[in-house]
Amino acid sequence: MQTLVEIDGGVYLLHERIGAIGKPAAPHLVGHARNLRKNQDRVSIMKRNARRIVLLAAMVALALMGVYGIFAWQGNSRQAVAAETGAIGPHMAKGPMKRLVVHTKRRDVSDLVLYDGEGKPHRLSEWKGRVLLVNFWATWCFPCRKEMPKIGNLQKAFPKEQFLVIAASEDRKGYKWAKEGLYVLDGDNLLLLMDQGAKALRKLGERGLPTTILVDRQGREFARLIGPAEWDSEEAKAI
């Protein structure tokens, strides 16, 4: 049988009876008290640490939002400079594609490497002869998620033999995770490849998401847009 035994501090513990009169052994009680205080101290420390972790997570989230804002601002600044120098085509100066930068000098990007679901590398040169839209995105990027259905609609408007959209994921959780994300975002008709370690994005000199480049049939980048866009608009289809 068991009974409740009161110890210092008014805390009750279940303790086995000892002897006919049911008196507990004092040393055993002292051990219980010490262990209880230690457990209480551990719980208190764990609660404080949990609060610190929550606060730290909130601070990190705010910092990431700030970093994205800086990258977006940098991208907009580059596009503003391009607009002043006449790098943006006149038919793109207004409307939902006004941030698109059309290059006066095209750059060869056919050696950019992306990876499929089995880890096999693919260079953009494999698709020479087609116009490519390469969208660098991630499932954790809100602007990316917002524009992805529109990119999927753009692909539906053109045959893949002529115009191919490549969704280049920056997700560290892998191909399967990104594939499921595309399905949820109505972008499962797009060719999904992975940009391992963001190497391709860095090679382009960019760090912010989303970043989209347009590549001509010779494998040369002829336009770039930093940030989300209305990719299923008539202005986008006119490119």
| Per-residue pLDDT at 149 exceeds 60 | yes
pLDDT of amino acid 25 = 43
Which of 54-63, 88-97, 111-120 has the highest mean predicted lDDT (pLDDT)? 111-120
pLDDT of amino acid 37 = 58
pLDDT of amino acid 41 = 61
The string of pLDDT tens digits covering residues 68-103 is 444 444 444 444 434 433 344 445 546 788 889 999
pLDDT of amino acid 10 = 31
Same domain (yes/no): 10, 92: no
- Among 131, 124, 190, which residue's Cα sits nearest to residue 162? 131
- Among 206, 211, 207, 204, which residue's Cα sits nearest to residue 226? 211
In a domain, 77, yes or no: no
Domain residues for the domain of 54 are 2-62
Alpha-carbon distance 89 to 69, whole Å? Answer: 26
Same domain (yes/no): 99, 57: no
Alpha-carbon distance 177 to 196, whole Å? Answer: 14
| Per-residue pLDDT at 2 exceeds 60 | no
What CATH number should be reported for the domain holding residue 230? 3.40.30.10
∠ Cα 224 227 229 (to 5°): 85
Q: Is the separation of the CB atoms in 236 and 97 below 8 Å?
A: yes
pLDDT of amino acid 98 = 86
Same domain (yes/no): 33, 126: no
Cβ neighbours of residue 132 closer than 8 Å, sequence gap 6 or more: 124, 163, 164, 165, 166, 214, 215
| Per-residue pLDDT at 202 exceeds 60 | yes
Same domain (yes/no): 52, 123: no
SS3 233: coil
**Pairing between β-strand 191-194 and β-strand 163-169 as defined by DSSP bridges:** parallel
pLDDT of amino acid 50 = 60
pLDDT of amino acid 152 = 97
How many domains does the chain contain in total? 2
In a domain, 69, yes or no: no
pLDDT of amino acid 214 = 97
Mean pLDDT for the chain? 76
Same domain (yes/no): 144, 228: yes
Amino acid at site 183: Y
- Range name among 22-31, 165-174, 196-205 with the lowest pLDDT average: 22-31
Other Cβ atoms closer than 10 A to 175: 17
pLDDT of amino acid 95 = 78
Alpha-carbon distance 82 to 99, whole Å? Answer: 10
The string of pLDDT tens digits covering residues 185-197 is 999 999 999 999 9
Same domain (yes/no): 232, 168: yes
Place of tokens 């660098």: 136
Alpha-carbon distance 76 to 79, whole Å? Answer: 5
Decide: pTM greater than 0.75: no
Same domain (yes/no): 108, 21: no
Same domain (yes/no): 96, 186: yes
